[in-house]
Amino acid sequence: MPPKWRFRKADPSLANSKSFMKVMHVLKTMNQKISVFLILFGIGYLYLSYNLKEYPYVPVDSDLVPKALGYLLVGLAVLLFFDKSSETEEQKKKRSVPKKELMVILAVGGMIFLYIFLFEIVGFLIATALFIFFCSWFLGYNRWVSNLLVSLIFPSVLYYLFNYLLQIRLPQGILPF
Amino acid sequence: MGALDGLMQGFQVAFSLQGIMFVLIGVVTGTLIGMMPGLGPISAIAIMIPVTYGMDPSTALVMMAGVYYGAVFGGSTSSILLNAPGISGTVATAFDGYPMAQRGEAGKALAIAAISSFTGGTVSVVLLMLFAPALAQVAVSFGPPQYFALMFLGLTAISSLSEGSTIKALISATLGFIAATIGMDAQTGTTRFTFGTPNLIEGIDFLVIALGLFAIAEVCFLIINRKDKSLSKQSDIGNLKLSKEDLKEMKGPMTRQSFLGFILGVLPGAGATIASFIGYITEKRIAKKPEEFGKGSVRGVAAPETANNAATSGAFVPLLSLGIPGSGTTAVMLGAFLVLGIQPGPLLVQDRPEVFWGIIASMYIGNVFLLILNLPLIPYIAKILKISRPMLISLVIIFSLIGVYSISFSTFDLYLLLIFGVIGYLMRLFSFPAAPFILAFILGGMMEQALRQALTASGGNLAILVSDPISISLLIVSALSFVVPLIRIRKKDVTQD
C-alpha cells in the first residue's frame, strides 16, 4: 500500500494535461477499438450459443434468443466501428483519468477483493471493521479517533441488526458471537 | 354491501387505537427495513410474518400493508443519496434523484419522492377500491403474447434512455439482455453460459447488476474526485421546501403516473419496477424539455416514485380479488394471509369484509403516516451526505457488499458485484449508458419467456403475437414511441432552418 502523501503531492493539472494528450491521440480509433472487442465478444457468445443442447420437438429452443442476441451485438458493433459521430468535450474529459488516481482505484479494488476473500473466513465483524478503517485511511481520512469509532460501531450495529433482529445470518467467522 | 358502507367498516378497523398503532408500526419498520441494503418489501414482509402470530387477522394485515409500502418508500432514499438502489423498483429514481442530490438539493429530491409516493399511493388506493374486481378479470386475460407486447413496449424505451449515441445505448441494452440469458432456461432446463459453475445456474441476481453498475461504478468517480473542492456543494442538503414551480412541474407526472403505475401494478409480473421505468420514460417522452432528464429533473424523480407506489397498490388487486399473487412480494403477502387463516379471493369481500376493507382503509392512513413521518425526518436522513468523502466511500462499498450478501449468502456473488462494478466504470468511461443495460436485463428475461411460451402454444406460428386487440395495441404504441420522437426531431430541424 503506497503511503498517501505520494499521490497527494502530484500536481493534478500536470497529470491531467498529459493523459489528456494521450487520450486525444488514441481517440480516433477508440470507438473502433471497442467495436473490435465487442465483435470478438459477440462471436464467442455465438459460439457458445451454437453449442447449447438442443431438444427435439421443441418449437422454440433455448438457443433461439441467444443466437439472435449474438448476431444483434455483432451487427451493432460493426455499426459502431463506422460510427462517425464524435464525442462531446465533456465525454472526452471524463476519460482522462490521471494514472495515479487509477492506481488508487485499483488499490481500493484490491482491498474489496481481499475483503470478500476474508469475509467468510474471519467473519463479517472483523473483516468489515478492518476494511472501513484501512480504506478510509488510505483515501485520506486522517481523524484517527472517529475512524476507529466508526469502524467499530458501524459493523457492530449492522451485525446486531442483521443477525439478531432480522434473522439474516452474516458470517460469524472466528468470533464466538 | 356497497363500497361506501364497506369502507366505513374498514375505517372502523383501521381507525381504532389498535389499528392506528399497528399501521404506524408497520410503516416505520417497513421504511427502516427498506432503507437497509438489499432488503426490499419481500424481505420486510417475510421478516414481519412471525411478529403477527396470534394477532387479530385484520389488525395484522393492516400492519403488513403498512410494512409493504413503507419498504417501497424506504428503498428510494439510498437511490437518491448514494446512487445505490436497494431494490429494483427504485432504480429509475436514481436517474434524476442522484444528480439532484449532487447539485446540493438532496432535501428537495427526498421531499419530491415523499410527496409523489404519497400521491401515487393515495390515488391508486381509490382506484383499487373502485375497480378491483373488474380489473382483476382483465389481468387474468393477459397471456404470453400480451406480455411479450408489454415487455416490447418497455424495451422500445431504450432509445430515449440514451445520452447521445443511440448505437451505444442499443449495444448496452444487448449486453444487458445477454446477461439475462445466463443461467438455467426455465422451459427446457438447459443451463446456458454457466461455464459449469453451479453458482450461475439461477442466473445473475438483479441486485448484483444494479449495485455494480450504479453504486460501485459511482464509487470509482467518488474516489477520483474525493479531494475536489468544487464538489463540496454535494454535502449540502438544500432547502426542503418546494417552490410553486416545482409543485407545478410535479403535478403532471403525478397525475398520469398514478393511473399508469396502478394499471401496470395490476398486471401479474409487471409490478413496481416496470411501472417506474415506464413512468420515467413516458414522462421523458412527453416532456417539453426532455434534455433535463438524467440531470436532476423534478419530473424525473416524481414520475418513477409516483409510479412505483401506485403499482404497489395495484398489485393488491389480483391478490385481494382473485387470490393470485402477481409478484414475489404479493406472494409473500399471500403467505402472510394464509398464516393468519385468511384465504384471499373472490369470496373475501363477502366472508371477511372487515379484512378486505380494513386493508384498503389502512392504506389511506398508511400513506398519510408515511408523509407525516418522512418529511420531518428528511434532514436527518440526508445527513449521510455530510460524512467525509473517504469515509462515505468505504461505507457505500460495505453497503453494496452486504446488500448482495444478504440475499444470496455467497461470496461468489460478491466477486460478481466487483466485476460488474468494473464493467460499469468502463461503460461510463466510454460513454455507454448503464440504464439501457439494466432495463434490458430486467425485461429481457421476461420477454424471452413470454415469446417462447407464446410460440410454443402456437406451434411456432408468429401470428399469435398479433392475434388479439391488447397485444396489437401495445405493439402499435411501441412502434409509435419509436417513430414519434423522430418526427419531433424532424420538425425541430425544419423550424430551425
Among chain B residues, the shortest Cα distance to A104 is held by B223
Q: Tell if the CB–CB gap between A69 and B460 is shorter than 8 Å.
A: no
Please, what is the average pLDDT of chain B?
A: 82
A24: in domain: yes
3-state secondary structure of B192: strand
Residue at grid coordinates 394464509? B338
Residue ending a domain, choose from A67, A95, A123: A95
Cα-based distances in Å from B146 to B138, B143, B173, B205: 11, 5, 22, 25
Chain A CB contacts of B164 below 8 Å: 85, 87-88, 91
Q: Grid coordinates representing B217?
A: 461504478
Where does the pLDDT of residue B182 fall: very low under 50, low under 70, confident under 90, or very high at 90 and above?
A: very high
Assess whether A90 and A104 both reside in one domain.
no
Q: What are the start-end ranges of the E strands in B67-106?
A: none
Q: What are the start-end ranges of the E strands in B251-395?
A: none
Give the phi and the psi of residue B269 in degrees, each rounded to 5: 90, -25
Query: How far apart are alpha carbons B295 and B411 in whole angstroms?
Result: 35
Could you write out the three-class secondary structure of A17-72? HHHHHHHHHHHCCHHHHHHHHHHHHHHHHHHHHHCCCCCCCCCCCCCHHHHHHHHH
Q: Angle at CA B240, nearest 5°, toward B238 and B244?
A: 110
Mean pLDDT of the region B20-33? 85
* Test the A interface: residue of B159, B171, B199 with most A CBs within 10 Å: B171
Is B199 in the A-facing interface, judged by CB distances under 8 Å? no
A35: in domain: yes
Cα-based distances in Å from B227 to A57, B100, B241, B481: 62, 20, 30, 43
Query: How far apart are alpha carbons B222 and B214 in whole angstroms?
Result: 12
A77: in domain: yes
Among chain B residues, the shortest Cα distance to A97 is held by B224
Per-residue model confidence (pLDDT) at position B133: 67
The contacts of residue B462 (CB under 8 Å, 6+ apart) are B455
Of A69, A85, A139, which is closest to B177 when you measure between CB atoms?
A: A69
Chain B CB contacts of A99 below 8 Å: none
Per-residue model confidence (pLDDT) at position A2: 42
Dihedral through CA A70, CA A71, CA A75, CA A78, nearest 10?
60
Q: Tell if the CB–CB gap between B193 and A108 is shorter than 8 Å.
A: no
Rounded to 10 deg, the angle between the B57-82 and B41-48 helix axes is 150
A174: in domain: no
Among chain B residues, the shortest Cα distance to A105 is held by B220
Q: Tell if the CB–CB gap between A59 and B187 is shorter than 8 Å.
A: no
Question: Nearest C-alpha of chain B: how many angstroms from A18?
Answer: 16
Q: Tell if the CB–CB gap between A61 and B430 is shorter than 8 Å.
A: no
Mean pLDDT of the region B424-445? 86
Nearest CA to B25 out of B77, B85, B65, B58 is that of B65
Q: Tell if the CB–CB gap between A58 and B456 is shorter than 8 Å.
A: yes
Per-residue model confidence (pLDDT) at position A145: 92
Assess whether A78 and A135 both reside in one domain.
no
Residue ending a domain, choose from A46, A73, A95: A95
Question: Nearest C-alpha of chain B: how many angstroms from A75?
Answer: 10
A172: in domain: no
Q: Tell if the CB–CB gap between A167 and B391 is shorter than 8 Å.
A: no
The contacts of residue B397 (CB under 8 Å, 6+ apart) are A108, A112, A131, A135, B216, B219
Q: Are B304 and B279 in contact (CB under 8 A)?
A: yes
- Give tens-digit pLDDT for B278-335: 889 888 888 888 888 888 899 999 999 999 889 888 888 878 877 777 677 787 888 8
Number of separate domains in chain A: 2
Query: How far apart are alpha carbons A84 and A89 in whole angstroms?
Result: 15
Residue ending a domain, choose from A95, A124, A149: A95
Among chain B residues, the shortest Cα distance to A84 is held by B165
Q: Tell if the CB–CB gap between A66 and B181 is shorter than 8 Å.
A: yes
Is B405 in the A-facing interface, judged by CB distances under 8 Å? yes
Query: How far apart are alpha carbons B246 and B436 in whole angstroms?
Result: 28
Res. B458: pLDDT tops 90: no
3-state secondary structure of A4: coil
Assess whether A85 and A16 both reside in one domain.
yes
Q: Tell if the CB–CB gap between B178 and A115 is shorter than 8 Å.
A: no
Q: How many CB pairs under 8 A join A and B?
A: 160
Per-residue model confidence (pLDDT) at position A5: 39
Q: Tell if the CB–CB gap between B401 and A112 is shorter than 8 Å.
A: yes
Q: Which of B131-145, B336-350, B387-401 has the highest mean pLDDT?
A: B387-401
Is B386 in the A-facing interface, judged by CB distances under 8 Å? no
**Which B residues in the span 6-45 are in contact with A, Cβ-Cβ below 8 Å?**
33, 36, 39, 43
Mean pLDDT of the region B353-359? 80
A176: in domain: no
Assess whether A78 and A24 both reside in one domain.
yes
Is B406 in the A-facing interface, judged by CB distances under 8 Å? yes
Per-residue model confidence (pLDDT) at position A11: 43
Compute the Cα dihedral for B343, B348, B354, B359 and give only its sign: positive
Among chain B residues, the shortest Cα distance to A86 is held by B165
Compute the Cα dihedral for A61, A62, A65, A69 and give only its sign: negative
Assess whether A28 and A55 both reside in one domain.
yes
Dihedral through CA B204, CA B205, CA B211, CA B214, nearest 10?
60
Q: Are B397 and B213 in contact (CB under 8 A)?
A: no
Among chain A residues, the shortest Cα distance to B401 is held by A116
Asked which of A129-138, B33-42, B259-268, B274-283 is least confident by mean pLDDT, the reply is: B33-42
Chain A CB contacts of B175 below 8 Å: 73
pTM of the model: 0.79
Chain A CB contacts of B404 below 8 Å: none
Assess whether A86 and A128 both reside in one domain.
no
What percent of chain B has a predicted confidence (pLDDT) above 70? 90
Q: Tell if the CB–CB gap between A108 and B219 is shorter than 8 Å.
A: yes
What percent of chain B has a predicted confidence (pLDDT) above 90? 14
Assess whether A32 and A70 both reside in one domain.
yes
Per-residue model confidence (pLDDT) at position B326: 67
Nearest CA to B149 out of B368, B465, B485 is that of B465
Q: Tell if the CB–CB gap between B226 and A158 is shorter than 8 Å.
A: no
Q: Tell if the CB–CB gap between A64 and B452 is shorter than 8 Å.
A: yes
Ranges of chain A with pLDDT below 50: 1-15, 20-21, 23-24, 27
Q: Are B471 and B148 in contact (CB under 8 A)?
A: yes
Q: What are the start-end ranges of the E strands in B132-263?
A: 183-184, 191-192
- Find the farthest-apart pair of alpha carbons in chain B and give their distance in angstroms, rounded: 73
Is B415 in the A-facing interface, judged by CB distances under 8 Å? yes
Assess whether A151 and A75 both reside in one domain.
no
Query: How far apart are alpha carbons B75 and B85 in whole angstroms?
Result: 7
A74: in domain: yes
How would you classify the pairing of strands B191-192 and B183-184? antiparallel
Q: Tell if the CB–CB gap between B391 and A53 is shorter than 8 Å.
A: no
Assess whether A72 and A120 both reside in one domain.
no
Nearest CA to B214 out of B432, B426, B444, B425 is that of B425
Assess whether A79 and A108 both reside in one domain.
no
Assess whether A83 and A107 both reside in one domain.
no
Strand (E) or helix (H) holding B438 = helix B435-458
Assess whether A86 and A158 both reside in one domain.
no
Chain B CB contacts of A51 below 8 Å: none
Q: Grid coordinates representing A25?
A: 491521440
ipTM > 0.85 (yes/no) = no
A173: in domain: no
Measured between alpha carbons, how far apart are the two ends of chain A, in Å? Answer: 31
Task: Identify the residue with better confidence: B481 or B209.
Answer: B209
Domain ranges, residue A79 = 5-95
Dihedral through CA B22, CA B25, CA B30, CA B32, nearest 10?
180
Q: Tell if the CB–CB gap between A170 and B181 is shorter than 8 Å.
A: no
Per-residue model confidence (pLDDT) at position A10: 41
Amino acid at A73: L
